[in-house]
Structure 1
Amino acid sequence: MGSSNGHGRYGYSALPARPVYDWPEGRSLAVYLGLNLEGFAFGEGLGAELAPGGPQPDVLNYAWRDWGNRVGAWRIRDLLDGLGLPASVLVNSNLYRDCPGLIEAFRARGDEIVGHGRTNAERQGVLDEAGERALIAEATEVLTRQEGVAPAGWLGPWISQSRTTPDLLAEAGYRYLLDWAHDDQPTWFATRGGGRILSVPYPQELNDIPAIVARKETGRQFAEAIVDAFDEMLEQSRAAPLVMGIALHPYIVGQPHRLRPLRRALAHVAAHRGQVWFTTAGAIADHVRSAGIPA
């Protein structure tokens, strides 16, 4: 689908020209947290870097990422419990094997479990169609078996998509995807065969990897960005319903010097719960579908 100079998934739509609708309880701003729980291969494959990595095995960066699953994720769980906030937990399926009890702890909170590939040591978009279909099928089978229900949403490891990814996800039964940061409202994507799949906004600005790893912002700067974005989007949502996502990785914002400013920022957001729909990406997708919102 698409061509060499376009993707063919959606047409241009200016936000001010769209129909105005409400989120549940008359809210105009939907806020969700995308918590990435990821695994990485030892001695090979991809992975974010705290410092320039040396020859494999790159123990420095591997151990830094591993700390997130052993320590940081549990501190973020406590933070979310303390503020009474739900999360969409983006899960590498290999973690059920590699970190027993980790995903189960977030399931016990009632959090949404979202497909996020097998491991973040690989990209799916570089595979041929059969290989990508097999990756999606393997990850989906594990999550479905472990959770007792098939995941509704998918975020590719490293936001990696091929030209056929939306088609493959729709054919695998997924109802929404999170890879595209092109809008502040959900968007219907066309898929081959006349079908469609919903794109729910996922942040790249309010995302600790681009902010802290790539742009070298401090934890306080990242927290300030969350507060400023929330205050601005709350005002902007008076004119149009909006989605604000916040993307977190335990090995980054679970670190104590970043966790403290993050807690302050999320407490500021949570203090407005009377004005805002605090929800999950899946609930946003369900509302759009059930309410017949054109998106």
Structure 2
Amino acid sequence: MPDQDPKRHHDAVSPPRLAGHGRYGYSALPHRPVWTWPNGARLAVYVAVNMEHFAFGEGLGAELAPGGPQPDVLNYAWRDYGNRVGVWRLIDLLDDLALPASVLVNSAIYGYCPETMNAFRARGDEVVGHGRTNAERQGILAEPDERRLIAETTAVIATAEGRAPQGWLGPWISQSRVTPDLLKEAGYSYLLDWSMDEQPVWFRTRDGGRILSVPYPQELNDIPSIVGRKDTGEDFAHILETTFDEMVDQSAKAPLVMGIALHPYLVGQPHRLRPLRRALRRIAGRRDDLWITTAGAIAAHAAGLPEGTIP
């Protein structure tokens, strides 16, 4: 006769044990301590501008249309528009709205179009390491090669900017199993690749230490939106506006981070820049109720909170 006792059946079954990463444990947002950003703000907003350069005739790259045989002139030139035209219009927009930026830079940019980084430097923007080029992934490299990629990128930025970056985003959001360890060992204090939360989270590292994960958006990111889902510029602006409105409301319960990820070859196009301007103006118009800042400032504030506040 079948066992009719549901409790005994439940007790006899164990949940499956799946492979994990060991970097952080589960933490439910409603069960965490409640704290505030500077000046009592509950929502921190930062704009990430991705400055990327691509190899001609080889390697990876986002596509406007399905690429043909290399050299893929159509997609290479479309992406290069961002460094020649789009970024300058985006800088003008940020200036008009008095918005700071975290500039996620491929180190190859310094050799190709250093004028762009001169402009961000003059604005006082934060510079974040973003690999050598987005024509490659770091997560597939052997550990010595990945360590070399991080070191080369860091050295180029430090030479140009006078200080090493504190934050890192892997090209193509690509990490190996040891990337957080290598970043910590290279002197980085935070990383941006993981989008599993709306608050900073501590990652364990193999040296017994830790490195902070700051939320970086995939929903509020123009590549997944425009290239992946084929959203229009109006669609993307609507996503920004509705997310902002909802996160303002949700931040009454818990302090949150809203990141906005932009690529000049996408949102620098005139038909996308116009609705983006409207969405960013809406956010900037609430600046007295927010903390509009950089990813690095978010990381520094979170790291300075009392022990146990950040999961």
CA contact 2:200–2:310 (8 Å) conserved in 1? no
Q: From 223, 244, 252, give the equivalent of 1:209.
A: 223
| Aligned-partner Cα distance in 1 for 2:44–2:106 | 25
| Aligned-partner Cα distance in 2 for 1:75–1:131 | 36
Determine whether 1:9 maps to 2:23: yes
Q: Classify the secondary structure of the residue corresponding to 2:207.
A: helix
Instruction: Give ranges in structure 1 of 5+ residues lacking alignment.
Output: none
CA deviation after TM superposition for structure 1 residue 193, in Å: 1.6
Letter in 1 for 2:61: G
Determine whether 1:234 maps to 2:240: no
CA deviation after TM superposition for structure 1 residue 294, in Å: 2.6
CA deviation after TM superposition for structure 1 residue 100, in Å: 2.3
Aligned to 1:22: 36
TM-score, length of structure 1 as denominator length: 0.98
Q: Classify the secondary structure of the residue corresponding to 1:189.
A: strand
User: Runs in 1 of length 4+ with deviation above 3 angstroms?
Assistant: none
Query: C-alpha deviations, 1:230-255, integer Å up to 9, x for none?
Result: 00000000000000000000000000
Range with greater deviation from structure 2 (282-291 or 16-25) = 282-291
Aligned to 1:127: 141
Determine whether 1:290 maps to 2:304: yes
Query: C-alpha deviations, 1:59-95, integer Å up to 9, x for none?
Result: 0000000000000000000000000000000000011
Q: From 252, 273, 293, give the equivalent of 2:266.
A: 252
Q: Classify the secondary structure of the residue corresponding to 2:287.
A: coil
Q: From 171, 194, 199, give the equivalent of 2:208.
A: 194
| Aligned-partner Cα distance in 2 for 1:172–1:72 | 32
Identity of aligned residues (%): 71
Letter in 1 for 2:132: R
- Say which one has the larger Rg: 2
| Aligned-partner Cα distance in 2 for 1:224–1:4 | 38
Determine whether 1:47 maps to 2:43: no
Instruction: Give ranges in structure 2 of 5+ residues lacking alignment.
Output: 1-16
TM-score, length of structure 2 as denominator length: 0.93
Determine whether 1:171 maps to 2:181: no
Aligned to 1:34: 48
| Aligned-partner Cα distance in 2 for 1:100–1:246 | 24
Q: Classify the secondary structure of the residue corresponding to 1:8.
A: coil
| Aligned-partner Cα distance in 2 for 1:216–1:91 | 25
| Aligned-partner Cα distance in 1 for 2:310–2:194 | 18
Aligned to 2:110: 96
Q: Please provide the CA RMSD for this pair.
A: 0.9
Q: Classify the secondary structure of the residue corresponding to 1:69.
A: helix
CA deviation after TM superposition for structure 1 residue 267, in Å: 0.3
| Aligned-partner Cα distance in 1 for 2:207–2:184 | 10
Letter in 1 for 2:139: G
